[in-house]
Amino acid sequence: MQADLVPLVAGALILIASLISLRLGLSVAIIEILLGAIAGNLGILQSEAWMTYLAGFGGILLTFLAGTEIDTTLMRQKWEESVLIGLASFLAPFIGTFLFTYFIVGWGLSASLLAGTALSTTSLAVVYSVLVETGLNRTELGKSIMSATFITDISTALALSILFIKPNLYTLVFIVVSLVVIVLATKFSHYLFDNPRLKDKVVEPEIKYLFLLLLIFMYFANLGNGQAVLPAFVLGLLMSKHFTETSKTKEVRNRLRTVAYAIITPVFFIVGGLNMSVPLILGAITLFIALFAIKIIMKFIGVFFLAKKYLPDGSMYTTLLMSTGLTFGTISSVFGLTAGIIDQVQYSLLIGVVVASAVIPTVIAQRWFKPAHSEDIVDLNGGLDSNSHNDDI
């Protein structure tokens, strides 16, 4: 395909995904992943370097936005369930996948550990997108799900780093730079956000400022073999108060979300679909089904009973959303392939399971287990706002 046709095709897929999403009432992220998989396997679209980079930035941007949605007061009050559900969501599929691939399938130790890491994830990007589209990001249930998802992803990132990634001098630089950026941004960003001379300017200095902070994380993470999504989420979490203090800062977040959903995050989901090779998966379809089943079953074992205790009104919905995987699952799989830990077939199987887990549990959750109040948003103060969702998307 000619280079200038790639953005044209990608743009068409993004628009088509939006129209299908509105018609079927499904999360647009799911449609974008499916269209990416179809286009990639039919040879209609191939990922280029700019798409890969923009997709990486999109995942980090979604993670930052998810952090801004966390109610820090609620997180402190609900820390026990967030930690317990999040850790169980990581440990159960990690152990189950490792034992299955090592003892039954016969993969090597490193490959089995990598598989356990890749399939232990919960996609914060998918979870956040679904919660925003349903309006649940404003509810106590939605905020609790995002908090638990963050714990799962931290655990996955730590497992990947401890088991495989070899730190270097730049790793320390990445950590120091991330801490400095987070501290300074948390302390001084209000001077930019609250500046009356910058209000309603078409140049959008606030959004460009936030983009710069995330690009700094990406650059130093690549140097230090780290993961930019972790400081991005922490930054969003600590800056969440900036986006709720005044109407101006709320508008900044809404404009940032609009920019993200218009072009950046669709590329992230489409590239996620492009990474899946259907022919290689079909060549090992039995193993693919087994790996998918293990991920979902172990997620159910790890999450459902704790969610039943702490989030009884949305236990199945929580379990299904936390069974999704995309960002860290893809990162782990790509790392394993480039480092020679897994081969191309193992990579395709893991990517296929990751993408399938981003789609199938989400469809089931939205179709049959979506909490009744997701259409009319009940906020944490007990008020009813049926228009909030449309204003925010």
Query: What is the phi/psi pair of residue 222, to 5°?
Result: -65, -35
What pLDDT digit, counting tens, does each position of 309-358 carry?
Answer: 999 889 999 999 999 988 778 878 878 887 789 998 998 899 899 989 98
Q: Looking at the predicted structure, is the pLDDT value of residue 215 above 70? A: yes
Q: Among candidates 3, 52, 89, 50, which has minimal Cα distance to 299?
A: 89
Is the CB of residue 275 less than 8 Å from the CB of residue 349? no
Domains of the chain: 48-373 (1.20.1530.20)
Interhelix angle 265-274/5-24, nearest 10 degrees: 100
Residue type, 91: L
What pLDDT digit, counting tens, does each position of 349-373 carry?
Answer: 998 999 899 889 998 998 888 887 5
- Written as six digits, the tokens of 336 are 């394993």
Q: Confidence class of residue 388 from pLDDT cuts 50, 70 and 90?
A: very low
CA angle 248, 267, 289 (to 5 degrees): 125
Mean pLDDT throughout 166-186?
A: 91
Is the CB of residue 313 less than 8 Å from the CB of residue 141? yes
Mean pLDDT throughout 278-283?
A: 90
Interhelix angle 109-118/79-99, nearest 10 degrees: 140
Q: Confidence class of residue 385 from pLDDT cuts 50, 70 and 90?
A: very low
* Strand locations in the chain (E): 377-378, 384-385
DSSP SS3 for 42: coil
What pLDDT digit, counting tens, does each position of 48-70 carry?
Answer: 888 988 988 988 888 788 778 77
pLDDT of residue 378: 42
Is the CB of residue 32 less than 8 Å from the CB of residue 126? no
Percent of the chain with pLDDT over 70: 90
Q: Looking at the predicted structure, is the pLDDT value of residue 184 above 80? A: yes
Q: pTM score, two decimals?
A: 0.77
Q: Looking at the predicted structure, is the pLDDT value of residue 382 above 60? A: no
